[in-house]
């Protein structure tokens, strides 16, 4: 569970029971504490409604013929999106939730947790949109910041507008037969998991839906106006295939993660056509090592004053092509507006030729010296070759410096 998830230490059933009579009648005292029967769908719906009301100020009626969202797992996804946006230095946030559902759960949670955010939620089910609208309109603060869009199965997935991110929790299954054959589905059936057909099934299942998201995201109009695309996945096999789809399309700026809630595992994938690069701590894990994107960090051993030595080398580069920001002791950031460190660029300078430079950086990195090591982390840029080239240039210089 995400460390910021408010339910990481369990549910405060005793406190909820004192303020929510509808939930209290479903609780029984066993083994020294109040317990809820999670096999009882009515009890679970009462719990979800109570948590939304008392922890987030969202008042809703959960339709009996639609899925009841598990809040801890939904929060894991939102917190991961928060981390992605923070690492990308995005502060002006409008999000998109594809398939928002009967209470627009992601939109409501996101806006309840972030008063400055706005959200757009889409759905192909008119009854879900009507129910979600009733939920949103019951809270004036949400009604001002959440927009619902009823769409159709064959309409474009991404409506008009600019978005910092999009998120999606697509239907797992291709058909009722597919659901029946799934081991996880058999568990759901035992729990009497009720859901509308549009929530449970989509042609080709979750994988085909996410592949469609990826294909539509590659359209120039979409890749320019949405910074981070993302989706949750219910099957590890779907994650493997989704990563393969990105790699086949040569999309290298992506992230994968795993969510754990009790014994339930879910996965998420995000991808972007913009320049912000996420830290390895956010996109790479040992459990998903084979699926992880290329590392954005390079490390080398250094002697004392490694940062100072690296800065001396940067000082030999054209000042108008390099921005240096001191972030702390032995910690700096570099912004480079051309590949001015390369041999080709140096030869041009010797010939007194003007180096072409862009208005925006072609590469941003941070350098941090710690415990006898220098780490270069890629912060921004579209060209992995430039990052590797700069890293090698600085590391070669430091290796020569240490031998002097």
CATH classification of the domain holding 312: 3.30.310.80
Q: Are residues 147 and 236 in the same domain?
A: yes
pTM of the model as a whole: 0.92
Which candidate, 202, 116, 196, places its Cα nearest to that of 157?
202
- Residue numbers of the domain that contains 365: 297-403
Low-confidence ranges of the chain (pLDDT < 50): 185-186, 189-190
DSSP codes of every residue in 344-389: HHHHHHHTTPPPP--SS-SEEEEEEEETTEEEEEEEE-S-HHHHHH
Last residue of a domain, one of 291, 320, 343: 291
The residue among 248, 269, 291 that closes a domain is 291
Instruction: Label residue 377 exposed, middle or buried (CB < 10 Å: 0-12, 13-18, 19+).
Output: buried
User: Residues 265, 344: one domain?
Assistant: no
57 part of a folded domain: no
CB 164 within 8 Å of CB 92: yes
| In-domain check, residue 2 | no
306 neighbors 385 (Cβ within 8 angstroms) = no
Query: Is 303 part of a structural domain of the chain?
Result: yes
In what helix (H) or strand (E) does residue 11 lie, and over which residues does it extend? none
Does 388 lie in the same domain as 304? yes
Q: What is the DSSP string of 204-259?
A: THHHHHHHHHHHHHTSHHHHHHEEEEEEEES-HHHHHHHHHHHHHTT---EEEEEE
CB–CB of 94/121 below 8 Å? no
**Shared-domain flag, residues 99 and 248:** yes
Domain co-membership, 362 together with 268: no
| 112 and 253, same domain (yes or no) | yes
In a domain, 111, yes or no: yes
Number of domains the chain is built from: 2
Neighbours of 206 (CB within 10 A): 23
CATH number at residue 219: 3.40.50.150
Residues 232 and 344 in one domain: no
For residue 388, tell me if it sits in a domain.
Answer: yes
Question: Is 43 inside a domain boundary?
Answer: no
Of 246, 261, 291, which marks where a domain is finished? 291
Please tell me the predicted confidence (pLDDT) of residue 244. Answer: 98
Pair 302, 221 in one domain: no
Same structural domain, 387 and 277: no
110 falls within a domain = yes
Asked if residue 37 is part of any domain, the answer here is no
pLDDT score for 184: 56
Q: What DSSP state is assigned to residue 161?
A: S
Contact 386, 335 (CB under 8 A): no
């Amino acid at each position: 569970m995400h460390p910021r998830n408010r339910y990481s230490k369990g549910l405060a059933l005793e406190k909820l029971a004192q303020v929510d009579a509808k939930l209290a009648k479903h609780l029984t005292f066993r083994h020294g504490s109040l317990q809820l029967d999670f096999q009882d769908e009515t009890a679970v719906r009462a719990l979800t409604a109570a948590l939304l009301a008392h922890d987030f100020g969202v008042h809703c009626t959960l339709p009996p013929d639609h899925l009841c969202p598990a809040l801890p797992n939904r929060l894991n996804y939102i917190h991961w999106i928060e981390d992605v946006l923070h690492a990308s230095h995005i502060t002006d946030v409008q999000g998109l939730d594809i398939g928002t559902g009967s209470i627009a759960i992601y939109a409501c949670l996101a806006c309840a947790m972030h008063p400055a955010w706005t959200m757009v939620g889409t759905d192909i089910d008119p009854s879900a949109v009507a129910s979600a609208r009733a939920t949103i309109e019951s809270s004036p603060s949400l009604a001002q910041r959440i927009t619902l869009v009823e769409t159709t199965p064959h309409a474009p997935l991404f409506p008009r507008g600019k978005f910092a991110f999009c998120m999606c929790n697509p239907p797992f299954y291709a058909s009722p037969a597919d659901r029946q054959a799934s081991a996880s589905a058999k568990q759901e059936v035992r729990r009497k998991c009720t859901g509308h057909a549009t929530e449970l099934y989509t042609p080709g299942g979750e994988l085909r839906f996410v592949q469609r998201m990826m294909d539509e995201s590659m359209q120039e109009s979409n890749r320019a106006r949405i910074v981070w695309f993302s989706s949750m996945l219910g099957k590890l096999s779907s994650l493997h295939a989704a990563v393969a789809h990105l790699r086949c399309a040569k999309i290298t700026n992506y992230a994968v993660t795993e969510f754990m809630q009790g014994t339930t595992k879910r996965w998420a994938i995000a991808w972007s056509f913009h320049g912000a690069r996420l830290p390895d701590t956010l996109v790479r894990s040992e459990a998903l090592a084979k699926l992880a994107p290329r590392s954005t960090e390079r490390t080398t051993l250094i002697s004392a004053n490694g940062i100072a030595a690296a800065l001396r080398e940067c000082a030999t580069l054209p000042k108008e092509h390099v921005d240096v920001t001191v972030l702390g002791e032995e910690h700096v950031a570099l912004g480079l507006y051309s590949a001015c460190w390369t041999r080709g660029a140096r030869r041009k300078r010797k010939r007194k030729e003007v180096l072409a430079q862009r208005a925006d950086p072609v590469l941003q990195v941070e350098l941090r010296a710690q415990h006898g090591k220098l780490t270069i982390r890629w912060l921004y840029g579209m060209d992995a070759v430039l990052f590797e080239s700069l890293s090698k240039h600085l590391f070669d210089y430091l290796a020569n410096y240490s031998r002097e």
